[in-house]
A and B are shown apart, each in its own frame.
Chain A
Amino acid sequence: MASQPSDEQRRRFEAEALPHLDALYRYASHLSGDAALAEDLTQETLWKAYRAWDQFRPGSNVRAWLLTILRNTFINQYRRRQHQGETVDIAEIEPYAVFREVQDVDPEARFFDNLVDHEVTQAIDALPPEFREVLLLSDAEDLSYAEIGEVLGVPVGTVKSRLFRARRALQERLYRYAVDAGYIKRRTP
């Protein structure tokens, strides 16, 4: 274990790591599906990162580094509590199906804006975990494909195929919510 961080280390940690607290909490919430657990995970991640701050390579992506610590902590300690979602069948997604449905009535995809936040959260959490993670690391946390591959320990090709399928599955589900709620009319065949 590293020694007590110096004042300078604390100052740098506060300036560079703490701005990512929201990202860590967000990722932890979607991983665990539990607010108390998300708080514990965020807390523990920051504590570990603070103690190991001298091992962080300046110039590399601090957010990716923190998210990796969080994910490893989760896997080591809480894996059995992983939030499973209801696992949509992600192999069944037909590409561009939603665009084809709406291209004449809403080509600018305005119907998405009518969805309420909990519908979006629910739809994300229904994705199988390995797809949910890739989607969050890309669309919520702005990591590159290579950085996501490093966080998850998978090749870039896997990141790309998971991200494609995750975005499609989510889009399909959000579209169904929107149709059910009457935000958009299903095209008559």
Chain B
Amino acid sequence: MNPELHSVECREALERLYDYLDRELTPELEEAVGRHLRECSACFRCFEFERAYLRFLEARVKAQGAPPEVKRRILHQLFEAEEP
């Protein structure tokens, strides 16, 4: 089933997909999209798929950071000018 072909409401919900998942909608619009998702299983499945994708992405990119020796060097250089 292609969710965006389902109805005008589906199209409107899908246009706001990321705004909804990113919690960037006004409370009224968020409620309207949420209501549509409770009524439309095609859109609900599409939103859940995208939510899973964003969760995956967030977990993977956040796992990357500075290696410990890099951190040590950076902190040492940052404060060393201050030491007496």
- Give residues in A with beta carbon < 8 Å to B: 4, 10, 18, 21-23, 25-26, 29, 39, 42-43, 46-47, 50, 95-96, 99-100, 102-103, 107-110, 112-113, 117, 120-121, 124, 136, 138-140, 144-145, 160, 163-164, 167, 170-171
The 8 Å CB contact of B49, one of A103, A113, A139, is A103
**Contact A29/B64 with A4-B82, A39-B74, A145-B22 known, Cβ cut-off 8 Å:** yes
B71: chain A residues within 8 A (beta carbon):
21
Contact A120 B60 (CB under 8 A): yes
Interface centre among B45, B46, B53 (most CB of A within 10 A): B53
Residues in B with CB closer than 8 Å to A120 are: 57, 60-61
B18 lies within 8 A of chain A by Cβ: yes
Q: Are B54's CB and A139's CB within 8 A?
A: yes
Q: Is the CB of B66 within 8 A of A22?
A: yes
B84 within 8 A of A: no
Main secondary structure of the interface of B (DSSP, over half): helix
How distant is the Cα of A164 from the Cα of B19 in the complex, in angstroms?
A: 10
Task: Beyond the given A96-B3, A108-B52, please list 19 additional residue pairs across the A-B interface where CB-CB is below 8 A.
Answer: A18-B75, A21-B75, A26-B61, A39-B70, A39-B73, A47-B78, A96-B46, A99-B50, A107-B45, A109-B52, A110-B52, A112-B56, A120-B60, A138-B22, A139-B57, A139-B61, A140-B61, A167-B18, A167-B54
B residues within 8 Å of A by Cβ? 1-4, 14, 18-19, 22, 24, 45-46, 48-50, 52-54, 56-58, 60-66, 70-71, 73-75, 77-79, 82
